[in-house]
Copies of this chain bind each other. A is one copy, B any other.
Amino acid sequence: MRTSKYLLSTLKETPNDAEIVSHQLMLRAGMIRKLASGLYTWLPTGLRVLQKVENIVREEMNNAGAVETLMPVVQPSELWHETGRWDKFGPELLRIADRHDRPFVLGPTHEEVITDMVRNEVKSYKQLPLNLYQIQTKFRDEVRPRFGVMRSREFIMKDAYSFHIDRESLEATYQDMHTAYCNIFSRMGLDFRPVLADSGAIGGSGSQEFHVLAESGEDLIAFSTESDYAANIEKAEALAPATDRAAPTQEMTLVDTPDAKTIAELVEQFDLAIEKTVKTLFVKASDESESPLIALIIRGDHELNEVKAENLPQVAAPLEFAGEEEIRALIGAGPGSLGPVNLKVPFIVDRSVAVMSDFGAGANIDGKHYFGINWGRDVALGQTEDLRNVTEGDPSPCGKGTLLLKRGIEVGHIFQLGKNYSESMKATVLGPDGKSVVMEMGCYGIGCTRVVAAAIEQNNDKYGIIWPDAIAPFEVAIVPMNMHKSERVQQAAEKLYSELKALGVDVLFDDRKERPGVMFSDMELIGVPHTIIIGDRSMDEGNFEYKNRRSGEKSPVAIDDVVAFIQQQLSQA
């Protein structure tokens, strides 16, 4: 490609409305342009990267035995009624009507459509297992689209759906997909981790996320220092403390705490250790519970894990915190003075709280706390659960090492759906014994457009993007200096361009009449991994100059060796 026939569209200034570095760099490098909130046009440089991502995904899915299909973006509402998601899905599901006023949706995902297709086409267990995927445009009407293509409304996903006669077959394909995903992200040159993810009501070990590690990631991931264990913090188990509860050493006393509405104020004003305090949080109870609210008690220095809380049968899903008014009506005290002693609603305590002694908590009377509380003596302990987020240094749930926390960007998810969709949609096949069997299903997603942004979050510096070779918009840039004044430079540049193109190298030839500085900074900004600089001065010595984008190092390369040198650089990637 010649820049003169291309739409480079780089920007010098960082656009004001871009908060994260990938969004800034995608705008500056001329990869995307905003059309409307959460809607982006992919300019040529962006699309080249996106297509390389898609092609790697496609090749590895095919290698893993998945078969490609393509389902419509626009889906009839009927199928969404069958699974109940027409009602359950929030306003992210964009509901539309056609000219005849028939209801449709813009597909945010395709479980309904694929399950409908497979129940019509697949009749016998002999046709299973079957793993079908597509790379297709999706739409989610995010209330606040942000971070460019990281959380846009229209985006491109690879979504695969597998169908099985039994759980064993599902688990085998799930493992194949795990391997395929590792191959995909490895080939892209990304530093990623498969991590255990919460699988909600379905349970089991049937859900893993793939995260690109980056400091800007929205998710926290817990790693073991001494094993392969990695889990989304949503999922990572906080083990029960290995130490037993210490015996009481204090009497329980009622203390006036009129100015201590928060744990921080309590600790500060009464010189308490924060590990000797608890937070009592009120959430809506599920229908299972007799009380409208339920209290969750965690240590003062811990954070509630909302996913763990929501998965408890007594707690309403989605999780909803009780308002002050509702709490006050039931308890007679506000949120700053709550605690387990004399509490009128059921409560669940975190494992770490269960081993506390001589601790402080609200007295369920405004402006008062109890200090020196001890379980059993002052209040019955009751139900104990894992309610909190793990923290760095916690023992790893795998039994080896302690936990480290890192940030990640979720780019893929593999999930054992079981019979979630196939049951409600009556997707059955005839089994070996001639009886009808509801199929087991798995689903496997990769956010192709999001991968592009995540790769940039992980690979950039102050000059721009640093693409891994496999997903770079161009592998090699040719930058001729003052080509329009030097016929020798021009001829050398044209010759190298032809030779590299003929070898199938993805090369950008910067043939603009621009100052070398402009050309260098554009090539750095868009992140071309390998640049060959052609100028009269180095040619006098029989050389071109090579610059590596990642290391920043420059070195002379003999003109006659340059093609072989480039081929060697590319094969090392």
Contact = CB atoms under 8 A, between A and B. Distances in A.
Interface of A: 1, 5-7, 9, 30, 33, 35-36, 39-44, 47-48, 50, 65, 67-76, 91-92, 94, 96, 98-99, 104, 106, 113, 116-117, 120-122, 127, 130, 132, 137, 139, 141, 143, 153-154
Contact of A39 (B72, B137, B139): B72
A73 B154 contact: yes
Given A33-B121, A73-B137, A94-B96, A41 B113 contact: yes
A104 to B, nearest CB: 8
Contacts of A67: 1, 5-7, 44
Given A7-B127, A47-B68, A74-B139, 4 more contacts: A40-B72, A41-B113, A43-B69, A94-B99
B71 A117 contact: no
B153 A65 contact: no
Contact of A35 (B41, B71, B106, B121): B71
B74 A106 contact: yes
A173 to B, nearest CB: 11
B143 A99 contact: yes
Chain A binding surface SS class? mixed
Contacts of A5: 65, 67
> Can you list the 4 inter-chain pairs with the closest CB atoms, starting with the nearest?
A42-B70, A36-B76, A91-B99, A96-B96
Contact of A117 (B41, B99, B130): B41
Given A9-B121, A121-B9, A47 B70 contact: yes
| A47, A74, A116 pick with most chain B CB within 10 angstroms | A74
B47 A117 contact: no
A269 to B, nearest CB: 46
A72 to B, nearest CB: 4
A35 B75 contact: yes
Nearest to A104: B36
| A39, A122, A153 pick with most chain B CB within 10 angstroms | A39
A47 B113 CA distance: 16
Contact of A120 (B33, B70, B75, B96): B33
Contacts of A117: 33, 35, 41, 43
A1 B67 CA distance: 9
Contacts of A7: 67, 69, 121-122, 127, 130, 132
A116 B35 CA distance: 9
Given A47-B69, A94-B99, A96-B96, A76 B39 contact: yes
A48 B58 CA distance: 13
A121 B32 CA distance: 11
Nearest to A121: B9
A81 to B, nearest CB: 13
A127 B48 CA distance: 20
A127 B4 CA distance: 7
A41 B65 contact: no
B35 A72 contact: yes
Contacts of A120: 33
Nearest to A70: B42
A74 B73 CA distance: 11
| A67, A70, A75, A154 pick with most chain B CB within 10 angstroms | A70
Contacts of A139: 73-74
Nearest to A141: B99
Contact of A41 (B39, B70, B92, B106): B70
Contacts of A6: 67
A259 B120 CA distance: 58
A73 B72 contact: no
Contacts of A137: 73, 137
| A50, A96, A113 pick with most chain B CB within 10 angstroms | A96
A71 B113 CA distance: 25
A116 B76 CA distance: 32
A396 to B, nearest CB: 39
A74 B68 CA distance: 24
6 contacts: A35-B116, A36-B75, A36-B76, A73-B154, A94-B99, A99-B143
A44 B104 CA distance: 25
Contact of A50 (B70, B73, B76, B153): B70
A564 B184 CA distance: 34
Nearest to A110: B41
B153 A74 contact: yes
B141 A72 contact: no
Given A7-B132, A9-B121, A39 B96 contact: no
